[in-house]
Amino acid sequence: MATDQASRTSGDPVALLETIFRDAFGTVLGDAGRDADPLVRTGRNPQFGDYQVNGVMGLAKQARTNPRELAGRIVEAAAGALDAIAEPAEVAGPGFINVRLKSEALAAMLDDFDTPRLGLAPDADTRPIAIDLCGVNIAKQMHVGHLRSTIIGDTLARVMERCGRTVHRQNHLGDWGLTIAMVLQELRDRKADLDALSLDDLDAAYRAAQAANDDADRAKQTLIRLQQGDDELLRDWRKIIDVTMRAVYESFDLLGVRLGPENNRPESFYRDRLDAVVEEFLAAGLAETDQGAIIVRFPDRKRPLIIRKSDGGFLYSTTDLAAVKYRVQELGACRVIYVVDARQRDHFRDVFDAIRLIGWDRLADGDTAQLVHVPFGSVLGADRTPLKTRSGENVPLSALLNEAIDRATTEVRKRAAVPDSPTHDLSDETLASIGRAIGIGAIKYADLSSDLVRDYVFNLDRMIAFEGNTGPYIQYAHARVCSIFGKAGLELDEDLRRLGPYVIREPAEKTLALALLRYPGVVRDVAESLEPHRLCTYLFELANAYSAFYENCPVLKAEGEARRHSRLRLCHIVRRVLADGLDLLGIDAPTRM
């Protein structure tokens, strides 16, 4: 069986080697071995092999046998299947197995990989996924905190869609409750013309309402009227939402995130479901009254989850319970993912545990939905404190994005002024478009390339740099590849398989080919781990591998037509992977820089 699979080769060498060695484990150790993970990893040192099988030592411990001896028996069992794709495997150290692919097999794998899907087969699980992201509050400007939730959530959605999944992006807008009633009351007291409101006007009213604690009782009366469906208040409420969302959609457009009105699931969407949430918890015996409030207790912690206040009001927790129930039981989402800052960790632990207690995580097929909080850290200023304006306010997102675009556009125009620059003949409008792509890409890449839960320092000089692990460096690598095709008289999206087979001979060619073949596994890994920085690291490593290939392996001046055509095909697939990977990050891939 494994021999047949090996002879066909595969666009994913790791998956192929896992199959071969799992079969070999089973041959040597029976079912215990067949169920074990071979732990195939990319080799750290090409001198010893392309891949390393690390799963033998764990098996040896279970079987109480010598790991090197067991590794030797496994190599013998795998030899027939491996022969089609690899040189004879070698046992190293205490029981590692090193595998070096044959050049012909590597070329065949690249050929399998060279398809529109770039080797990434759709997931067998077709159930939808729900991702809660952005969550801007009505009557407030988007600030830097919304940047992280929005672009992280959008990237995770893109990755899962690339894996063939249906993703429900859920923008949980803060558009209901006492705060909004306070803003409405403030605007009414000012006799503001709601048809002429700007977002700055709303922001000022929001701050004034927050400071006016003595008007809380009046705001509560306004809220009651709003909840009871007062036509005039509802009309004014909708005007506030429209003003806020126009600015929000402008930011979405600038960021290049896929969010629109169809993704909005605001707090008001759930307002008619909240009473039922409380009643169902009470009916199930999972909630109790405590000093007038309704709470849910947990056996492993002192803090309860309050789902209704003593005055009858609901909380964020009540809305979140209704939202999870909707996403699992009505949308049918098998994964419900919340991209919310790390300070909300305890809140989501309580909400998710309450959902599990009442069984609202149960899907129609009887399976249990996975409930996940993806926490992220803060964006810091140069003083390593949360990024603020001089007056101590949150930095408006629009100001941040516009500054990045201005800085990047200035750099682009400076480079275009050099006579031999690839962009020297471009119009000012085109240069501005490239500057926008680089500026936005720089911010997004800097955010996504760090471990999500860690804070990071916002440094535009570092972000805009064309060197190092930055967005502009990856974008420039893509543009650099594109330049080759114009010189060769080929179109960027032309199917180059007609040029003939891959010929992998030089070390830099092999390193680049192995890097390319990692791409499907990296995308699947991000979809599972929910860690976009793994994709950023991969793209940086691929760009470096291409740079080494370009320096050591002439493309247009290669010796012989077969080698020239093979290297053109390598460049072509590098361009497509870089463009695809950048698109998963929501970053444009300019063809000239």
Predicted confidence at residue 83, as pLDDT, reads 95
Closest to 520 in 3D by CA, of 129, 14, 6: 14
Q: Across residues 543-558, what is the average pLDDT? A: 97
**How confident is the model at residue 424, as a pLDDT?**
94
Among 223-237, 349-363, 486-500, top mean pLDDT goes to 349-363
Domain covering 2-101 in this structure, CATH number: 3.30.1360.70
Name the average pLDDT for the chain: 93
Q: How confident is the model at residue 3 (pLDDT cuts 50, 70, 90)?
A: very low
d(CA 346, CA 301): 11
Q: Phi first, then psi: what are they for 339, rounded to 5°?
A: -100, 90
What's the rounded Cα separation, in Å, for the pair 307 and 280? 11
pLDDT of residue 179: 84
Distance (Å, whole) CA 133 – CA 117: 27
Q: For position 45, what pLDDT does the model report?
A: 87
The answer, yes or no, to whether residue 119 has pLDDT greater than 80, is yes
pLDDT band at 228 (very low <50, low <70, confident <90, very high): confident
Q: Does the pLDDT at position 390 exceed 80?
A: no
* pLDDT exceeds cutoff 60 at 10: no
Q: What is the pLDDT of residue 200?
A: 85
Tell me, what's the pLDDT at 392?
A: 64
Is pLDDT of 440 > 50? yes
Q: What are the extents of the domains in the chain?
A: 2-101
User: pLDDT tens, 239-282?
Assistant: 999 999 999 999 999 999 999 999 999 999 999 999 999 999 99
- pLDDT tens per residue, range 476-511: 999 999 999 999 999 998 999 999 999 999 999 999
Structure tokens at 206: 């929001």
User: String of b and e for 468-503 (b: at least 16 CB within 10 Å)?
Assistant: ebbbbbbbbbbbbbbebbeebeeeeeeebeebeebb
Q: Which range has the top average pLDDT, 9-18, 30-39, 454-463, 534-543? A: 534-543
Other residues' Cβ atoms within 10 Å of the Cβ of residue 460: 17
Which pLDDT score is estimated for 284? 98
Q: Would the pLDDT of 5 be above 60?
A: no
Residue 1: pLDDT band with limits 50, 70, 90? very low
* pLDDT per residue as tens digits for the range 278-323: 999 999 999 999 999 999 999 999 999 999 999 888 999 999 999 9
What is the percentage of the chain residues whose pLDDT exceeds 70? Answer: 97
pLDDT number for residue 31: 85
pLDDT digits (tens, 9 = 90+) for 184-204: 888 888 889 999 888 888 888
Give pLDDT, residue 208: 82
Per-residue pLDDT band for 391 (boundaries 50, 70, 90) equals low
Residue 485: what pLDDT?
A: 95
Distances (CA, A) of 121 to 113, 521, 569: 10, 10, 21
Provide Rg for the chain, Cα atoms.
28
What pLDDT is stored for residue 214 in this prediction? 56
pLDDT of 8 > 50? The answer is: no
| Residue reference for tokens 């990024």 | 387
**pLDDT at residue number 382:** 87
101, 139, 459 from 108: Cα distances, Å: 11, 57, 44
